[in-house]
Structure 1
Amino acid sequence: VCRNPRVLGCKDITVLKHASHHHVTLTCQLNSTATLAEVHQIISQVETQLYQGFPQVQRFTIHAEPVNR
């Protein structure tokens, strides 16, 4: 996730497993000057990368957090 140059950091990563189902939640820190459309695009890209990298995970929930940098 943090390989994406527009993601400034990741935190609060939680993995829940119930039987064979995995659910991952995480917070991605993004520049506070990003527009809502940019945030949506970045999070969509991150989500795609995660599903490709972790096919065993059924659901990712990604929260965006603005940071000043």
Structure 2
Amino acid sequence: MSPLAERLRSLRWMLVPITAYLVITLALPIANGAAARHDFVRHAAWVLGGCVAVVAVALVGVTLVELVRTNLWRKR
């Protein structure tokens, strides 16, 4: 398994909170007819962009922790 795949696998705990957030902020408004409003697309873009940013920051954090744990951070 590639190192990136292993890091992504370590972020599985984020799946439930992000899914719940997306359901509340996107699926429920769509079900209530908000998709017909012109500003909903902008809202959806910010929500999805925020989720991507959170996952990216978490991925960087996991990578840094892995580097520190394996002593690659410090020069020998």
TM-score (norm 1): 0.41
Q: Which has the higher strand share?
A: 1
Identify the structure with the greater helix proportion: 2
